Amino acid sequence: MCSVIALALIIERFYNLRSHMVLPPTLLDDVLSISQKGLPRPESIEHIASASALGEVISAGLRLLQSQPLCSKEEFASELQASGRRVAAKLERYLNSLGSIASVAPLLGLFGTVIGMIEIFGSQTPGAGNPAQLAHGISVALYNTAFGLVIAIPSLVAWRYLRSRVDHFVTELEIAAEKMVHHFFNPRA
């Protein structure tokens, strides 16, 4: 069960954490160049929001500027930060579950091993033990540990990779938000 859930989570996160779905390379520059002439229309802002995670952050700032054209730099930055936190939470979705599977799988394997060993030693009667049966039982019990590790190791590697990928995306979103604040609130020479 853990292996199926881990595999599903890994596939889902790899699919949804593709760079072009989170940080389209030209989106910020396109929005900044368009906004030099004025704010985009509401339909355009909705299109930007649906395009990517970066689009969600950008559109939050643009919506604030549309609804409150005289908002302060701090209000604008605060809106971008709040949107960034929401987007970061979406990017981190299921990572805790994957990390939990990576942590729990070896313990489940060890639990299976212990239960198997208890059964093996419980089935051995004094003076009438079968060494072949004992060896077979031990090997079966150890398979539980191996299966736990087979699930845990790829899950842990995927979790670490995806965690670092999300951290990178969050950093890039913060940089984009700073560029937006600078674009809309710093005086132009």
- pLDDT tens for each residue of 99-147: 999 999 999 888 888 887 877 776 666 666 667 777 777 887 888 889 8
CA–centroid distance for 88 within its chain: 9
Q: Are 79 and 143 part of one and the same domain?
A: no
Q: Are 21 and 111 part of one and the same domain?
A: no
The range of the structural domain enclosing residue 122 comes to 95-163
pLDDT tier for residue 188 given thresholds of 50, 70 and 90: low
In a domain, 124, yes or no: yes
Spatial contact of 101 and 2, defined as CB atoms under 8 Å apart: yes
Q: Are 70 and 31 part of one and the same domain?
A: yes
In a domain, 110, yes or no: yes
Q: Are 103 and 133 part of one and the same domain?
A: yes
Q: Are 85 and 117 part of one and the same domain?
A: no
pLDDT at 149 > cutoff 70: yes
Q: Are 173 and 154 part of one and the same domain?
A: no
Which of 111, 107, 129 lies closest to 120, judged by CA?
Answer: 129
Q: Where are the alpha helices (DSSP H) in the chain?
A: 2-16, 19-22, 27-34, 42-51, 53-67, 73-91, 95-123, 131-185
- pLDDT tens for each residue of 8-53: 999 999 999 999 999 999 999 999 998 888 888 889 999 999 989 9
Q: Are 22 and 88 part of one and the same domain?
A: yes
Q: Are 157 and 112 part of one and the same domain?
A: yes
Q: Are 55 and 139 part of one and the same domain?
A: no
Q: Are 24 and 77 part of one and the same domain?
A: yes
pLDDT at 154 > cutoff 90: yes
Instruction: Please tell me the total count of domains within the chain.
Output: 2
Q: What is the mean pLDDT of residues 70-97?
A: 95
Q: Are 115 and 81 part of one and the same domain?
A: no
Mean pLDDT value across the chain: 89
pLDDT at 189: 43
Question: Which of residues 93 and 143 earns the better pLDDT score?
Answer: 93
- pLDDT tens for each residue of 27-39: 999 999 988 888 8
Q: Are 89 and 77 part of one and the same domain?
A: yes
In a domain, 86, yes or no: yes
In a domain, 171, yes or no: yes
How far is 23 from 176, CA to CA, in rounded Å?
10
